[in-house]
Structure 1
């Protein structure tokens, strides 16, 4: 699949993960930068793209895809030459999907509830069990490394790895050596360095003179 991607983006935000993913696949793209402080994400023209008024969203070959995880999964399949997702029939595909879904269904909800000090419900009703179990499970997944699929780097590292980096940066995850070593490896990826440099420029340009 080819065709230019339009990324509706704000820096820094969850759309930084989508930018990282697009840099990994090496496809041509265009940025539509939204100023969240000015609430440009609620403009009627953007709400027509994503009624949730959130970033990221991408447009590609007549389709609109929202949610960072869905974008990463879509792009990994749409651009198989980047080799960021095991193909159907590959023994690693099940493990890949496990971690692709873990971020949105377990990790982020656990972090948000923990940070906001929300009163937990009954353990059996929580989508992630407990914050501690979620963090321990995450650590175990990458302690042997170097990536979520062992030696194979994938979109799961782009997506979940970005969340780990975010969690460490804002002290939302414990500063365990396993997490720090993993993020150090992730930050060595040229695509991540390019995406971070773009975000730095956007943030610098947005600062008042």
Structure 2
């Protein structure tokens, strides 16, 4: 039995839902509302002491970390449609993309999500003092929590926020180059690399920032994302779990910030 602890706005959780759908695996969901702090519930902390989603439980075994979960699904269910390319070179390319997501793109996504949108919801609900904020950090270190506090209070004016926008944009340009000769990131076949990147473009679209590739700016990326959205697995993996109210708040908050994002990128 596969059980997934996840949240609608989590890019990492969306990645795993996408992988599960592409591998045609049945699973039971446990929704953890990270915007309400449910990830700090003692019962969930026993599953994932880091207080983050997603976490997969397979027949009682806990598998954390979205990339590790996707690799686990490939190993545990080899009879299901494969996500990793067969060729050694293509598999290496795929791993380079998933490594880049974990090390650079995901932190940038977190910064933009808080700076453009989540900050408004948190401030509206009352962020309290920094000490209160720090106590709910789970395994997150003080430095990381201080940075997130600045994103919440200062938005795009927070130190380093503009750098995160430019980093995000640099990966879109790397995708544009990778897609010059093939329809998918590692070659002619859809792979785990496409699964890994899809949530991060979907996040920009959800934040009204799809102008970073639309209108001829990055035409191959635009065509790639259209192919992603056309897959029958896209809606159940991404849209079905996103609460309507949260989706509208993210869209509206992102739209307010888009002019500043454009200015920073000189679009």
With structure 1 as the length reference, what TM-score do the two structures score? 0.78
Once residues 32 and 109 of structure 2 are traced to their aligned partners in structure 1, the CA distance between those partners, rounded to angstroms, is 26
- Structure ranking higher in helix proportion: 2
- In the other structure, the counterpart of 1:6 is 3
Q: 1:25 aligns with which of 23, 26, 32?
A: 23
1:83 aligns with 2:120: no
- In the other structure, the counterpart of 2:220 is 178
- In the other structure, the counterpart of 1:16 is 14
With structure 2 as the length reference, what TM-score do the two structures score? 0.63
- In the other structure, the counterpart of 1:52 is 50
Contact 2:15-2:198 at 8 Å conserved across structures: no
- CA drift of 1:119 comes to 5.0
Q: Structure 1 residues 60 and 205, CA, compared in 2 at 3 Å: closer, same or farther?
A: farther
Contact 2:90-2:187 at 8 Å conserved across structures: no
Once residues 100 and 92 of structure 2 are traced to their aligned partners in structure 1, the CA distance between those partners, rounded to angstroms, is 12
Once residues 140 and 27 of structure 1 are traced to their aligned partners in structure 2, the CA distance between those partners, rounded to angstroms, is 32
- In the other structure, the counterpart of 2:185 is 148
SS of 1:104's equivalent?
A: helix
Q: Kindly name which structure, 1 or 2, has the bigger radius of gyration based on alpha carbons.
A: 2
1:175-202 Cα distance to aligned partner (Å, 9 max, x none): 23222211110011111222235315xx
Q: Structure 1 residues 190 and 17, CA, compared in 2 at 3 Å: closer, same or farther?
A: same
Once residues 167 and 204 of structure 2 are traced to their aligned partners in structure 1, the CA distance between those partners, rounded to angstroms, is 16
- In the other structure, the counterpart of 1:123 is none
Contact 2:105-2:167 at 8 Å conserved across structures: no
Q: 2:104 aligns with which of 82, 106, 120?
A: 106
1:92 aligns with 2:129: no
- In the other structure, the counterpart of 1:69 is 67
Contact 1:77-1:85 at 8 Å conserved across structures: no
Once residues 169 and 21 of structure 2 are traced to their aligned partners in structure 1, the CA distance between those partners, rounded to angstroms, is 33
Contact 1:20-1:192 at 8 Å conserved across structures: yes
SS of 2:25's equivalent?
A: coil
Of the structure 1 ranges 58-67 and 22-31, higher mean CA displacement relative to structure 2 is found in 58-67
Once residues 112 and 131 of structure 1 are traced to their aligned partners in structure 2, the CA distance between those partners, rounded to angstroms, is 11
The unaligned stretches of length 5 or more in structure 2 are 116-155, 248-267
The unaligned stretches of length 5 or more in structure 1 are 121-125
Q: Structure 1 residues 108 and 37, CA, compared in 2 at 3 Å: closer, same or farther?
A: closer
Q: Structure 1 residues 163 and 130, CA, compared in 2 at 3 Å: closer, same or farther?
A: closer
SS of 1:58's equivalent?
A: strand
Once residues 159 and 168 of structure 2 are traced to their aligned partners in structure 1, the CA distance between those partners, rounded to angstroms, is 12
- CA drift of 1:37 comes to 3.3
* Alignment coverage as a number of residue pairs: 194
Contact 1:146-1:182 at 8 Å conserved across structures: yes
1:137 aligns with 2:174: yes
Once residues 178 and 50 of structure 2 are traced to their aligned partners in structure 1, the CA distance between those partners, rounded to angstroms, is 32
SS of 1:64's equivalent?
A: strand
